Amino acid sequence: MEIKKERFDIPLTTIVLGLLFCAVYLFKIGESVFYDYPSYYIYLSLSDVINVALKAVLLYMILWAIYIAFMSWEIAGISFLIGACCSVLLKLYAMWRLYKNGEDSLLVYINKGMVPLLFSLLGYFLSKSFVKGSAGVIFIPIFGVFAFIVFLAFNFFIGLNYHSFVHNSTWQTEDHKVLVGTYKDSLLFRACVNGKSYFFLEESKDQKLEMFDIDTSGVLTLRCMPKNK
């Protein structure tokens, strides 16, 4: 009995949309860790996916510019690997500095230097995923899997650090409730009371927002903590 091998062709559009939804969801999870709100408040809409897609284009333009600068995908891959090694050394040094300064948050240690490290690893694994052969470009699945895993981690840490990179991106109400996200047609606000977080879903038309004048350079800045922390 002859067994027929079925070939499953997945449309490129489906793959791209799947990657975008993964990217947006991991970005939102990272943002929820930054603002310290539960992940079940995460709601994805098509506009969110499009918004992140436009930002992702900038990332791939940077990767492509690096490729053009070296005029060789292989040389670019080596440069990304060197960048990853340097990022590891800088991360270890930064973690040592945090330890010397008495930092006790595991999240701060893990997060320190992760964005440049993952960016370098993403570029390296992408360069290894597509290899030029006699029959054209060949896709290497094992490196593609590694690139996908790094891609997911990269989006999480971008979400975690987004408000550290982009200042003046946090808003609050007149009664000092911080805008931490959106859920369907409502705005998600958080209030800190005695170091505990309380969340509220309110209509956007009922709110008057103002810029929250606070330094967001640290991932623990907007977390609710007891006064003695």
Output the pLDDT for position 9.
Answer: 58
Output the pLDDT for position 51.
Answer: 73
Kindly give the pairing relationship between strand 196-203 and strand 186-193. Answer: antiparallel
Q: Domain range for residue 150?
A: 12-163
Asked if residue 129 is part of any domain, the answer here is yes
Asked if residue 201 is part of any domain, the answer here is no
d(Cα 140, Cα 4) in Å, to the nearest integer?
25
Asked if residue 186 is part of any domain, the answer here is no
Asked if residue 134 is part of any domain, the answer here is yes
Asked if residue 210 is part of any domain, the answer here is no
Average pLDDT by stretches of 10, the chain with 229 residues:
48 74 87 85 78 69 68 75 93 92 88 91 86 74 90 90 76 80 82 82 74 71 64
Asked if residue 28 is part of any domain, the answer here is yes
Asked if residue 108 is part of any domain, the answer here is yes
Total domain count, the chain: 1
Query: Which strand ranges, in their side-by-side order, compose the sheet holding 196-203?
Result: 196-203, 186-193, 178-183, 171-173, 209-211
Asked if residue 158 is part of any domain, the answer here is yes
Output the pLDDT for position 3.
Answer: 43
